């Protein structure tokens, strides 16, 4: 009887300790754009999970060594821009003219400083250019040739436009053109079809000083009009960070995210109506945009390290790493865990 009592006492103590132990807070989260099962076969899924893991590892390593959420989101996004599987940097989609035009933005939540570039064509890592705009100019957004020239003068790595070519994206463009010709589809914002190839990448982070940061990078929509700019480089639409509410990075049909000011709207719901990050994200993605037929997603990280993902697609390549160094990865609902390595 005594042994039984001791056993139950030990069990209760263990349960109490487990229940009272703080859940490791999220310090970095990323996304790789909306997705469905048809687009991501099993072999590609494994490669994408590895790409997400590499991005989180790069960002986590930077956060631990340099201690800045801004540095962390930049490092995480650079990793995704360099990975041809994602629609940013090397893996950017093609415009209607058969070219690659890239956009990116970065923002930190303490002072709300931000920088962005749009319609760049020769900057290897647009997210670096966005940060340079934030730190080296009095502006927020530079576009086209002006952004290209500024990046070159800032000493950033420039590449031949052919660098961005990938066979996968080229074939997507060919199929998109064929489908458009068959259906005589215009570029009307409603409805948008899957063949427009969504796939923006983004990151949000929280550093030990309590500062939030967000970064987003994209090649936009397949077969988009020359000069078209989506929500990613628009502060308050696809990217936003505020230490008093949350850091946000979005992906989806940018026209809708711009119209509804999605990123800023989410932070406002958290800040002024005390919504949880998940409720605020769902309010915009599921209740506001989804009824409009606008596919999209967002990742939200608050000052407490609480993460929220909301998406109206079948899946969202995404992941996060907690302050204990454990990486959590998803594309659809199945979770994969791996330790961050240096």
Taking the C-alpha atoms of residue 186 and residue 181, their distance in angstroms, rounded to an integer, is 9
Could you tell me which residues come within 8 angstroms of residue 5 by beta carbon, excluding any fewer than 6 positions away?
Answer: none
- Residue with the two structure tokens 């056993």: 7
Residues with active-site annotation: 200
Taking the C-alpha atoms of residue 281 and residue 263, their distance in angstroms, rounded to an integer, is 9
Under a CB-based contact definition with an 8 Å cutoff, are residues 10 and 17 in contact? Answer: no
Taking the C-alpha atoms of residue 300 and residue 72, their distance in angstroms, rounded to an integer, is 16
Under a CB-based contact definition with an 8 Å cutoff, are residues 86 and 189 in contact? Answer: no
Under a CB-based contact definition with an 8 Å cutoff, are residues 123 and 115 in contact? Answer: no
Distance of CA 305 to the CA centre of its chain: 17
Per DSSP (E only), the strands in 24-154 are 26-31, 102-108, 114-120, 141-143
| Residues pairing with 336 in the sheet | 329
Under a CB-based contact definition with an 8 Å cutoff, are residues 240 and 286 in contact? Answer: no
Could you tell me which residues come within 8 angstroms of residue 287 by beta carbon, excluding any fewer than 6 positions away?
Answer: none
Taking the C-alpha atoms of residue 192 and residue 171, their distance in angstroms, rounded to an integer, is 19
DSSP structure string for 185-242: ----SSS--GGG----EEEEEE-TTS-EEEEEEE---TTBPTT---STTSBTTTEEEE
């Amino acid at each position: 009887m005594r042994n039984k009592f001791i056993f139950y006492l030990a069990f209760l103590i263990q349960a109490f300790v487990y229940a009272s132990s703080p859940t490791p807070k999220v310090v970095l989260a990323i996304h790789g754009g909306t997705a469905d099962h048809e687009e991501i076969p099993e072999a590609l899924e494994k490669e994408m999970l590895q790409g997400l893991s590499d991005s989180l590892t790069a960002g986590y390593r930077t956060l631990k060594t340099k201690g800045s959420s801004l540095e962390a989101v930049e490092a995480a996004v650079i990793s995704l821009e360099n990975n041809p599987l994602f629609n940013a940097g090397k893996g950017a989609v093609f415009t209607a003219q058969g070219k690659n035009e890239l956009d990116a933005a970065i923002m930190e939540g303490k002072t709300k400083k931000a920088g962005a570039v749009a319609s760049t064509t020769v900057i290897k890592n647009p997210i670096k250019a966005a940060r340079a705009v934030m730190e080296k100019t009095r502006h927020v957004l530079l576009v086209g040739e002006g952004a290209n020239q500024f990046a070159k003068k800032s000493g950033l790595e420039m590449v031949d436009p052919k660098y961005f070519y990938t066979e996968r994206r080229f074939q997507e463009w060919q199929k998109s053109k064929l489908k458009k010709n068959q259906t005589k589809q215009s570029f009307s914002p409603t409805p948008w079809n899957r063949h427009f190839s969504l796939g923006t990448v983004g990151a949000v982070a929280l550093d030990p000083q309590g500062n939030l940061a967000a970064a987003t990078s994209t090649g936009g929509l397949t077969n988009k009009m020359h000069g078209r700019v989506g929500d990613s480089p628009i502060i308050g639409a696809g990217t936003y960070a505020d230490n008093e509410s949350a850091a946000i990075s979005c992906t989806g049909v940018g026209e809708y995210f711009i119209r509804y000011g999605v990123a800023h709207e989410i932070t406002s719901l958290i800040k002024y109506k005390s919504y949880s990050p998940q409720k605020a994200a769902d309010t915009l993605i599921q209740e506001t945009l989804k009824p409009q037929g606008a596919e999209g997603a967002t990742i939200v990280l608050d000052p407490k390290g609480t993460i929220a993902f909301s998406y109206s697609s079948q899946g969202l390549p995404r992941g996060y790493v907690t302050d204990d160094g454990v990486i959590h990865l998803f594309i659809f609902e199945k979770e994969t865990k791996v330790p961050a390595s240096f």
